[in-house]
């Protein structure tokens, strides 16, 4: 199934029968945040909050990518993952 909107793609990820890898989840997170909010302008999480730091970095790597480009990349990634996890 090929999602055509962010909403369809998010809905599709919620139907995965197996959890994607942490790397795949971070890619999804970063692309979603870039598609919906644009560049990451927040402060980097400090201390030992490794999960928040990983999410921050996943989003930060997409700096400069347009919302449209990030949306298309998110849709493509969800389609790819659906073939593995549905």
Which structural domain range is residue 28 located in?
Answer: 6-85
Q: What is the CATH number for 29?
A: 1.20.80.10
Q: Is the pLDDT of residue 75 over 90?
A: yes
State the pLDDT at residue 57: 96
| Alpha-carbon gap, residue 65 to 45, rounded angstroms | 22
| Alpha-carbon gap, residue 46 to 8, rounded angstroms | 34
Residues near 83 by beta carbon (within 8 Å), at least 6 away in sequence? none
Instruction: Supply the pTM of this predicted model.
Output: 0.94
Closest CA to 56 of 37, 81, 73: 37
Q: Is the pLDDT of residue 79 over 90?
A: yes
User: What is the total count of domains within the chain?
Assistant: 1
Burial class (CB in 10 A: 0-12, 13-18, 19+), 20: middle
Q: Tell whether 48 is covered by a domain.
A: yes
């Amino acid at each position: 199934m090929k999602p055509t909107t962010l909403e369809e793609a998010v809905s599709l990820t919620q139907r995965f029968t197996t959890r994607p890898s942490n790397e795949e989840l971070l890619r999804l997170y970063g692309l979603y945040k870039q598609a919906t909010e644009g560049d990451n302008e927040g402060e980097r999480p400090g201390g030992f909050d490794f999960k928040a730091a990983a999410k921050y970095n996943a989003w930060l790597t997409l700096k400069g990518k347009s919302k449209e480009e990030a949306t298309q990349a998110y849709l493509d990634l969800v389609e790819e993952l659906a073939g593995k996890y549905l």
